[in-house]
Homo-oligomer: A and B are copies of this chain.
């Protein structure tokens, strides 16, 4: 069992799982502000500020709500407010989290047409286009950044397809928003859901949802079947800057601080940093003779899934990293369990976090008898990181 081993309380530990991610000190500090009443003027100021800043990160003028539940709840909210039982939706599946989105639609009674794609790659837009030509659907469900494989899907392309139809495009952007460039309005994304503990640098507990006018039209035709996730209630209370149910006020203070950090660094810079760090991780893996699950053109800027080399049990590797080095990486999910490990690099991460993660992997592989040249992965990552200076890139 994990965790049974007793370690010194103050042992330095490093979170490289694809969420929750490390929380910056200024965010932690903001979360310890005295709790305020959620029907007060100060709460309205806080909530409106958080929503407005979140809209900037979403690159949207659509309505947006911050929710006090996990991203899974936000996905359920999107479906429960737009799809009546029996209505047809297309679910695009390229991994474990897309399967979860699919399951929610099924449980809510939608007539779900599932399009399965190989887990190592992205959604094939031609297949989707053909499907949308064949029949009318109420919605297309997509996982933007499949956390289980490190594959990122083409939202701009999907948006172009759905914008020509009556179908809404519902996007799970849980592990990408805030770390990957998502132009919600320009891409015609009708509902985009994310959560706090990934690129937004917060502890878990909050999520968010944006709602286009096309989505609102559907909400108005949809039978009411949830109170907690009622978009109409959120819209009604937003006129006061309040939420319908008691919100996680402390986390909202933290979110305000995190959004201030993101907007101060600049969206372009934040997205560029994620791309550059991800490229460094992939270069490091290649230099160690390891193969990244995602092809370069669809590789995620926030998480990298890596095939375990022959003869190495990735879960044994992870155990060594965790127990001996205090480094936490994630394992495979579903059909990839026991075959890959996952290296998260989103949110409050910098260049030397990447160096640390790669160095730890080198030590783990060496220890497990895999003949790696220590430092080779680090050097390859350093090469990539140095391009920031030679290209005159922006400092983090």
Contact = CB atoms under 8 A, between A and B. Distances in A.
Given A41-B1, A107-B227, A245 B72 contact: yes
Contacts of A43: 3
Contacts of A314: none
B228 A73 contact: yes
A35 B34 CA distance: 20
A248 B73 contact: no
Given A76-B227, A107-B225, A108-B225, A246 B36 contact: no
B41 A2 contact: yes
A84 interface: no
Interface residues of A, number: 62
A205 interface: yes
A269 interface: no
A141 interface: no
Given A72-B246, A225-B109, A249-B204, A35 B17 contact: no
Interface string A47-78: 00000000000000000000011111100100
A328 B37 CA distance: 8
Nearest to A32: B28
Contacts of A244: 72
Contact of A227 (B103, B195, B230): B103
Interface in A233-263: 244-251
Interface of A: 1-4, 13, 15, 17, 19-23, 28, 31-32, 34-45, 68-73, 76, 100, 103-104, 107-109, 195, 197, 203-205, 224-230, 244-251, 328, 330
